[in-house]
Structures are given as C-alpha cells and as structure tokens.
Amino acid sequence: MNMNQYLDVNPEVAAAVQAGKPVVALESTIISHGMPYPQNVETALAVERIIRENGACPATIAIIGGRLKAGLTPEEIEYFGKKGTEITKASRRDLAVLCAKGLDGATTVTTTMIIAHMAGIRIFATGGIGGVHRGAERTMDISADLEELAHTPVMVVCAGAKSILDLGLTLEYLETHGVPVIGYGTEELPAFYTRSSGFRVDYRIDSPEELAAVFGAQNDLGLGGGMLVTNPIPEEYSMPPEIINQAIDRAVAEAEEQNIRGKNITPFLLARVAELTGGDSLESNIRLVFNNAALAARTAVCYAGRKTSKS
Ligand code: PSU
Ligand code: MN
C-alpha cells in the first residue's frame, strides 16, 4: 500500500488487502453521472453484492470532503447517487484541487485506477471506459483513461467502449502505449450495448485463471501499466445495433451543434443516448456492469491465489 495523508481505506478493504485476499475496485462516476437516481444506487449496491457472492471484497472509490476513499458505506453510496451530476467529475488533473480544498469528486476510470493503486487494489470493474473521441484529429479530445491505462498497474474489466468514441483510434492509441486489450471469450472488441464492433482485439482469453496469469506475468515482467479486459454484454441484454447507433449518431450531432466541450462531452452523450433509447439501454447498462463485476471478482480470486501460492 502506498499510503498518503489524503487516503482513507475502509477497514474491511484494508484487512483484505493486508491479508492478500481478493478485492475489486468500483468507480463512482458511473453512479453520479452514468445512471439516474435511484437505479444508480440500487445498481451500485447490487454490484457490491455480486462481488461478494463471487468471493471478493468490493471497494467503491470516490472523493468525499477532499478524502480519497477506497471503500464506501451504503450511506455514502446513497449520497453520491442523490447528488448525481452536481458532484464534480474528477479526473487526474482535478485530484490536487479537490484534496486541497476538501471537496467531493466522482472518480472516473482514471482516478479510480489511481486510488485503487494507492490502496493496493489491482483489479477494477466498470461499465465502459473513455477513449479517443470522434473528430479527435480536430479537437484532440482523448480521455485521460487511456493515459492511466498506460501507466498504472490495474486491470480494468469493462464491456468495451461505446461508439460515441472512435473505437479504431482508441485501439491504436492503446497499442502505441503498450496496453494489452483482451477479449473475454471473443476476438472482437465489444461496443458496450452490443457484443461486436467490427474491430479485433489483441488476444482472446476464456477463463479468469488465464486473465490472472497474464496480468501476473505483466507485473512480474516489470512492464508496469494496466490491462484492459473487454467482456461482451450477455446476448440476452444486448441491443439492436441500428437502434443504438442511430441514437449515438444523433447525440454526437447535437453535442457538435451545442458546442459541448471538454469534460462535459462524455456525460452529455451518455445522458442523451440514455434518453433517446429509454429504459432499454439502462437495463442493458445495469446488466453488463453486473457481468463485469462477477468476472472481475472471479479473476481477483485467481490473482490472489496465484500470489499466495508463490510466496
Ligand atoms: N463511458 C461510459 N460510461 C461511463 C463513462 C464513460 O460508457 O460512465 C465515464 C467513466 O467514468 C469514464 C469517464 O472514465 O466517463 C470518461 O470521461 P472522459 O471521456 O471525459 O475522459
Ligand atoms: Mn475528454
């Protein structure tokens, strides 16, 4: 653990990390900005239950009153869910300001990786990651999530990325920065609501044991950096590509017309796609997060077993 004066690891999480037991980190932007209240809170609590059922300890990560929290209470999750988009979406560049001023922040993939790593947590489950935006050759809008994956040794289990992004450029960027992109049970990069995107991943892996072994090898080699595991949404919850792509194209066009920029663009697109596709996309979103939580927990169990068997 890389303890610092701003970090609070909750006692259950700290005990699990100390004992080398499996722990899975979870982000809080998905709660505050990714889903409406009260489904966001119900989902966050259900995800923690799924992680426990699969043998690991959950650690939802957030910034509260300038404290970096690894592990939230149900009351703190409720607080985040209720406040929603009023809470600052916190990326790497926001951390120092929020800590020094004693403010709240919702952690993105980037800041969840940073705080997980500080707390000694190696595996993290979420829905979708940020990436290279469409039109990035003009706007230079590339999510800090990709940079964090390049540098911070945390495995991120997600359902790929939404095609609000340029998925081809996102894969190119990850390749340049040396981030392995794994398809879980698939050769294709999943596109969040759909199981396929038309883009190939680097490697297909079919078991949590093998995911843990590959991540272990990356750490043992001293390569540093993260690993991206893309886990396709279960078939029964996936959405018809025409419906989702139409909504995404429209949301992207509206963002352009309204001149939405910077950190606001991703929350704008997520909210607009959710509105345009109604309850179906919310249900799909919730189901894929559950699916990722279970895989991350099973992988964390294998990863913990691997470490203890070696020492
Ligand atoms: N994409 C999703 N769902 C999300 C996010 C992205 O499909 O919830 C959130 C995550 O917290 C991610 C962040 O880390 O948005 C990326 O924001 P930006 O594109 O501004 O880097
Ligand atoms: Mn951006």
- Residues 173, 259, single domain; the answer is yes
Residue nearest to atom 17 of ligand 1 (CA): 130
Mean pLDDT of 277-298: 96
308 pLDDT exceeds 80?
A: no
Inter-residue contact 267 to 85 (CB < 8 Å): yes
Q: How far apart are CA 60 and CA 77, in angstroms?
A: 8
Ligand 1 atom at minimal distance to the Cα of residue 133: 19
- If you average pLDDT over every residue of the chain, what do you get? 96
Residue 23 CA: distances (Å) to CA of 17, 133, 183: 7, 31, 22
What's the CATH number where 50 sits? Answer: 3.40.1790.10
pLDDT per residue as tens digits for the range 79-91: 999 999 999 999 9
154 in the same domain as 302? yes
- What span, in angstroms and rounded, lies between the C-alpha atoms of 47 and 291? 9
Summarised one tens digit per residue, pLDDT across range 205-233 is 999 999 999 999 999 999 999 999 999 99
Helix axes 144-151 and 109-119, enclosed angle (nearest 10) = 30
What pLDDT is attached to residue 306?
Answer: 86
Domain boundary among 121, 156, 179: 121
Catalytic-role residue among 78, 148, 162, 188: 162
Q: Which residue's C-alpha comes closest to atom 11 of ligand 1?
A: 108
Query: Rounded to an integer, what distance in angstroms lies between the CA atom of residue 202 and that of residue 180?
Result: 7
User: Does residue 20 register a pLDDT over 60?
Assistant: yes
Q: Which atom of ligand 1 is nearest to the CA of 144?
A: 21
Same domain flag for 95 and 139: no
Is it the case that residue 145 has pLDDT exceeding 70?
A: yes
Structural domain containing residue 19: 1-121
Instruction: Report pLDDT for 2.
Output: 61
Q: Which ligand is nearest to the CA of 29?
A: 1
Per-residue pLDDT, 279: 83
pLDDT tens-digit map of 58-107:
999 999 999 999 999 999 999 999 999 999 999 999 999 999 999 999 99
